[in-house]
A and B are shown apart, each in its own frame.
Chain A
């Protein structure tokens, strides 16, 4: 079984639109949305009623006012500035339990967090595992690991040969959790200085974790000088450019209609994405 993750560094370069189209093109696969704090893939794939699971992860300190002697030690020791006037700020609490372990009056308990939900759904292109991190919750990396694990189990069960994963923006915790141990990262960028800067950092992360990468330059005709610069950079890094996709307002239109570009407008941009898929399939097979 192979696993491909779509990343970008910079947000809004077109990861989800491309994943939606790959879901249309690939056969015998499972989709997983690893962007757990701003998931959008379900808006394109429109899953059927979900199997809904709670995701419990991490803890938050709570102070029992009746037992508290107001000594202030917790406030003094907390390095996350999470206790003020003997009240815990749940958004700041790291869940380390230092306060609970040191409270002389044993007035502090650690409570488990309901950190989000994850779902197994059916879509017109096959199973989708996705999630919703609770508002202002932590541990997105662990929720990503959970949805990936579920996707693997489903793929094993139904004999799917491929997992297509829509990754989060950035390079931190949830990106690392999405990337580690995958077979290929497709990096979607755009020809802006920000796009290139962020691409260089996400290439660094792929290298750090030893995952092979392919680059797709989306909206390449917005600035062809920058496109050339990105191509030169990738050449020097030994990374192939798998596709250059022109700007196309149909991509947004398709999204507005809850469809993938492949379904909504099979000519034009769809053909570039089809070529991209053929190159990805070649890499995964080789």
Chain B
């Protein structure tokens, strides 16, 4: 089962939930944690895993053999991202704009275009104490997160529980991270910002047809509107974590909630049970 952790609004506690869930489950089931927040990956700060393997990942970008090229301009015509241009005698490529679709090299009538990999990030694979761990990291200055996320997700083993820590927001990096998940936990806080961004996240999950439930973090500081929204929209509120300076301090030092306050481990195990029930119920409905 693949469970992703997303949020809409940043800083609501995705990393806290993803890492504590992994730690709470590791003695019960095979656990793999994927940090798909490749712009700002943080799970390793809390888990301190041993990294066994680091691979570079990138985008295949065109290289033009000027001797073979007849300057016909077909490559520029088919490129949707303006990453290749023919200006008189010159063929210019703009690797930063290239999405690596391969259209130019395939469609070049002279077969004058080959591809080379332009490195845009790394994937680290390792583990810690019963948790298999994968992290993607976008190189500083690079724009495109989705290709890195795709590579991280190629590492999914899909036995036991796979936990995906997604980036904030609702745009392409989030979609790339959560698609294919059996369930998505949406972490929010009881504030107008939290509610606004939760609504966007719920809409995103509905668009992608992924069942979701809410974890309300820092409860007690703010208002009741998130709980009201969940009731009204029939989105299950699966867990509530109070606003607690002790939890904030543990987090600030890179200590997971599940380790700093071990009583939470049972609650996270219970959270997985609730998720499993929802997913099983949905699967049996779709079979019927």
Contacts and interface: CB of A to CB of B under 8 A. Distances in A.
A and B assemble together = yes
Interface of A: 8-13, 16, 35-38, 40, 43, 59, 77, 79-80, 91-92, 94-98, 101-102, 110, 133, 135-138, 140-141, 168-176, 190-195, 197-198, 201, 204-205, 208-209, 222-223, 226, 249, 252, 255-256, 258
Given A40-B193, A91-B175, A252-B222, A226 B252 contact: yes
Nearest to A199: B40
A193 B172 contact: no
A11 B16 CA distance: 13
Contact of A205 (B140, B168, B248): B140
B157 interface: no
Interface of B: 7-12, 15, 37, 39-40, 42, 45, 78, 80-81, 99-103, 106-107, 138, 140-145, 167-175, 179, 191-193, 196-197, 200, 203-204, 207-208, 221-223, 245, 248-249, 251-254
A201 B254 CA distance: 18
Contacts of A205: 140-141
Contacts of A36: 171
A38 B170 contact: yes
A20 B225 CA distance: 22
Contacts of B103: 96-98, 101-102
Given A9-B40, A11-B168, A173-B145, A101 B251 contact: no
Contacts of A174: 171
Given A43-B193, A138-B171, A256-B222, A223 B40 contact: no
B179 A92 contact: yes
A37 B170 contact: yes
Query: 8 nearest interchain CB pairs?
Result: A11-B10, A12-B11, A96-B101, A170-B39, A204-B140, A208-B141, A223-B252, A169-B10
